[in-house]
A = this chain, B = another copy of it.
């Protein structure tokens, strides 16, 4: 097993121009989703676990997205005594979920391998 197999969070962070801790946090999500694995200790790091041609961009999207809808976390607090306000968030949430699904469907058209091969 070569050292180069494992990318460190520092290396990735350098490439992205961001903080290694942020990388480790975000990648924890991909790890939970089974897309990558990580190894602690010296010469450790992160590497892809699932074959890139089996990873659709939608899978990454849905993992990273988490439980919120993408376009809003619906933090507005309308008047519950208002006939519309009482229901608006429920109705909006339906649309927001439809949007998430539409995005997911769009991203299902391309695998990570296909994306990679553009370069």
A residues sitting closer than 8 Å to B (CB atoms) are 15-17, 57, 70-71, 76-79, 82-85, 87-88, 91, 95, 98-99, 101-103, 105-107, 110, 115, 118-119
Distance from A38 Cβ to chain B, minimum over Cβ atoms (Å)? 22
- Do residues B119 and A87 form an inter-chain contact, with CB atoms below 8 A? yes
Distance from A28 Cβ to chain B, minimum over Cβ atoms (Å)? 20
- Do residues A118 and B106 form an inter-chain contact, with CB atoms below 8 A? no
Copies in the complex: 2
Known A99-B107, A102-B105, A107-B99; contact A15-B85, beta-carbon cutoff 8 A: yes
Partner of A78, one of B17, B99, B103: B17
CB<8 Å pairs between A and B, sample of 23: A15-B78, A15-B82, A16-B78, A17-B76, A17-B77, A17-B78, A17-B79, A57-B95, A71-B103, A84-B119, A87-B118, A87-B119, A91-B115, A91-B118, A91-B119, A95-B107, A95-B115, A98-B106, A99-B103, A99-B106, A101-B106, A102-B103, A102-B106
